[in-house]
Amino acid sequence: MSSQDKQTYDDRLLTRYLLGALPVEDAERLDELCIADEEVATRLHALEDDLVDAYVRGEVSGEDLGHFESFYLLSPKRRQKVEFAAALLELEKRPAAVAAPAPAPATQESAVPTPKPREEAEEELVQPPRSSVRRPMFRWGFAFAAAVMLFAAGYLLLENLRLRKQMSETQAQQATLEQRDQELQKQLHDQRSANEESLKEIERLRQSQPNLGQLKTVSILLPPPTRGAARPPTIMLQPGTDLALLILVLESDDFPQYRAALRDSAANQVLWTSQNVQSAALGEKKAISISIPAGVLKQQNYVVELTGLPAHGIPEIIGSYPFHTVLK
Amino acid sequence: MSRDWVPTQDAFRQFLEWLDEGVDSDGQRYLELRRRLVFYFDRKNCLAPDELADETLSRVAQKLEEKGSITGLSPAHYCYVIAKFVFLEHLRQAKRGQAGLDELKQAHVDSRSTATSPGEEITQSGERLHDCLDSCLAQLPAADRELILEYYQGEQRAKIERRSRLAVRLGLSMNALTIRACRIRNKLEACMKACCAEK
């Protein structure tokens, strides 16, 4: 799919898709993209959350409200999302809600429950139990029954402890075996990955070696992202430049590998993505260096989005490095 | 293709690696793809979107084990193709077109008619949600809790401005902030679902 096609899927269109208000052909195209296209799936996910929030706040109106209530609220899963959004809104309003109960935000009663004020619920819980009238003739009977129950409870407690101990020993043995199995699997996997990586690296070096000397490059140092509005550094590209070498200085080196994505600031589109790279020392700091083909760059603002890749777990976006390009 | 196929440990590992496309996500790609498939079937108004999503993933894993590799389409795109078939089969099984909107409408009517009384149901459900939200928020790391409360707070324009300020403060692009907020909200919704089911 071209980037131009993607732009046509604006927020309004995606919202109508969520509301079941699109013609079948358009909806089918989006059915495909909501699974197969990273950007559309992410955008749609965020828009759905915002749409549901807007509904519980009473911000959805007109034709959209009609579609929301006749289509969106049909599914139990989607109704759960609405209930969640209502709870989140209630939480936001909670300090005010103590003084005055919040009005119901939506028109369909089953979709957005109005939680009972907490104080009211707590009052019900702290009501004292009704005292029972005890007759003296039953006192000794109760005392005997209590003693028997106490003895039985003690026996059961001891038995329970013994069984728990046995069970935890068995579990510990099983966990040790499973851990050993996982370690062996991991070693095997790491070894295979290392072999594959080495082969790829050799091949890459073999292919890139003869051309390195002929490349014309320009480089720029991009400091760690600052928390205020600062003027972005500028990179000058002379005619005939092959590569722009960007050195991204890290605030802290927390990941074994990183990946960078070049984003067009105005269109908010990813234009280029690096391979997985490792940090290297730059004085007392650590930095990532990436080489972007100069042909990708025009005279405008860009942002390099740096993602940290943990050995296991979710990649995390750790910073954005803005810069400006000037073509000479 | 056998419907009773159960993946071996090796087949499942191979499936996860194929989904990861070279970057170990520790199962996160699988979960994200499953979320998208559930969304797809739910938007088609199927009554059991989770089961259909699992059926789709199971068929893809089986195909991968049989063929050894799947080339030509990205993992996500291939899953979409199989999901389409699963959906069409589901429609055929559900008495030629009576599935989808009709069955959901009926289920919606049934669920509303069996409730004890609307007022009672709403109050109980509201209290439960209230308690569960408190408990689930408390389980989040403090930074995630602050982020999600700030990200989803406010109305329209105020919300947009708040999000921009939040992105600047955290040194993230708007896109990165949106992804992070959606992930946290997903976690919170899953926790709420489990909590409400328990109570």
**Is B74 an 8 Å CB contact of chain A?**
yes
**Contact in structure between B90 and B52 (CB atoms under 8 Å):** yes
pLDDT of residue A191: 75
**Is B14 an 8 Å CB contact of chain A?**
no
Q: Which two tokens stand for residue B16?
A: 């996860």
Residues 6 or more apart from B193 whose CB is under 8 A from it? A80
Q: pTM here?
A: 0.53
Contact A42 B179 (CB under 8 A): yes
Q: Which two tokens stand for residue A283?
A: 């004085």
Give the least confident one: A58-62, A109-113, A238-242, B35-39.
A109-113
pLDDT of residue A207: 66
Residue-wise pLDDT for B27-55, tens only, equals 889 999 999 999 999 999 898 999 999 99
pLDDT of residue A215: 66
With beta carbons under 8 A apart, name residues in chain A contacting B75: none
Q: Give the angle A288-A290-A296 at the CA atoms, nearest 5°.
A: 150
- The sheet with strand A285-293 has its strands ordered as A217-222, A243-249, A285-293, A280-282
pLDDT of residue A115: 36
What is the enclosing helix (H) or strand (E) of B48? none
Q: Position of tokens 């979960």?
A: B31
**Is B38 an 8 Å CB contact of chain A?**
yes
Is the pLDDT at A54 greater than 90? The verdict is: yes
Q: How much is the average pLDDT of B56-70?
A: 90
Contact A59 B155 (CB under 8 A): yes
ipTM reported for the complex, 2 dp: 0.80
Q: Position of tokens 């059926």?
A: B55
**Is B12 an 8 Å CB contact of chain A?**
no
Alpha-carbon distance of A234 to A325, in angstroms, equals 6
Residues 6 or more apart from B182 whose CB is under 8 A from it? A42, A45, A46, A49
Distance from CA of B3 to the nearest CA of A (A): 23
With beta carbons under 8 A apart, name residues in chain B contacting A274: none
With beta carbons under 8 A apart, name residues in chain B contacting A53: 152
What share of chain A in percent tops pLDDT 90? 22
* Highest mean pLDDT, choosing among A18-27, A215-224, B113-122: A18-27
Q: Which residue of chain A is at minimal alpha-carbon distance from B76?
A: A36
Alpha-carbon distance of A58 to A107, in angstroms, equals 9
Residues 6 or more apart from A27 whose CB is under 8 A from it? A17, A20
Q: How much is the average pLDDT of A246-264?
A: 89
Q: How much is the average pLDDT of A237-262?
A: 88
Q: Give the angle A299-A304-A306 at the CA atoms, nearest 5°.
A: 175
- A155, B43, B84, B85, B97 from B88: Cα distances, Å: 60, 14, 6, 5, 10
- Please give the residue that has the higher pLDDT: either B50 or A117: B50
**Contact in structure between B100 and A74 (CB atoms under 8 Å):** no
